[in-house]
Amino acid sequence: MALGVGATGLVLLGLSADPSPAQPLPLGGKLLLLGAALPLAALAFVTERRNRHWSAAPVLGFCAGLGFSIVGVSARSLGTVGPIWHLAAEPAVWAMIVNGLVAATAFAMALQRSRATAVTATMFTTNTTVSSPVGVVFLADRVRDGFTVAAIAGFVLAIAGAIGTAHYAGAHRELPPRSRERPESREA
């Protein structure tokens, strides 16, 4: 049920978006996107090191979703002016690469801790619910005329679906396998 709620929210968000060209970000904004990989990687690393059980998965899934959100925002802010080799000096391209690597690593670490359904729901919902307001505020994205209620409902449903899915997975997590070693005999 929670997956259906989350999926419905994501569909509503997608349908409510008005396709239009993005407003380019200034150089400082692109550098900020590039630099965001550092605290994101640090959060994933600390979570992985300090929290060795299943409860690390939602934080790692969130890190993955945030990283992929930054990839999307960076891609949306790319300008296409100039020769292709200018892309090597474009901070948004490097933000896409570095944040993509951090996000993929956090996603892989989360999958080692919890069920794929819960991790993926957390990642996709974080990605969508972070990218949407960033696009509206900084990239001149708009909600389609007459779809404001659908956008708000989609936002709420997507978050509720992710929370419900993560809660369900946490309540039904698998316990670690018991040791298969035989107890040693205490006979002398």
How far apart are alpha carbons 153 and 163 in whole angstroms? 15
pLDDT at 3 over 90: no
| CA dihedral angle for residue 80, residue 84, residue 88, residue 94, rounded to 10 degrees | 40
pLDDT class of 38 with cuts at 50, 70, 90: very high
3-state secondary structure 91-107: HHHHHHHHHHHHHHHHH
User: What average pLDDT does the chain have?
Assistant: 84
Q: What is each CA distance from 128 to 11, 24, 59, 73, 187, in whole angstroms?
A: 10, 20, 16, 11, 61
Q: What is the pLDDT of residues 172-185, one digit of tens each?
A: 555 444 444 444 54
**Residue 78 near residue 92 (C-beta atoms within 8 A):** yes
**Residue 81 near residue 128 (C-beta atoms within 8 A):** no
The H-or-E segment that residue 67 falls in is: helix 56-76
Q: What is the pLDDT of residues 57-100, one digit of tens each?
A: 889 999 999 999 999 999 988 876 678 888 888 999 999 999 99
Q: Which amino acid is at 92?
A: A
The encoded tokens of residue 98 equal 């570095």
pLDDT given for residue 99 in this prediction: 97
Q: What's the whole-number mean pLDDT along residues 26-47?
A: 95
Q: What's the whole-number mean pLDDT along residues 104-118?
A: 89
Q: What sign has the CA pseudo-torsion 126, 67, 132, 84? A: negative
The H-or-E segment that residue 142 falls in is: strand 142-143
Count Cα atoms within 13 angstroms, Cβ side, for 114: 29
Contacts of 35 (CB under 8 A, 6+ apart): none
Burial degree of 133 (CB within 10 A; 0-12, 13-18, 19+):
exposed
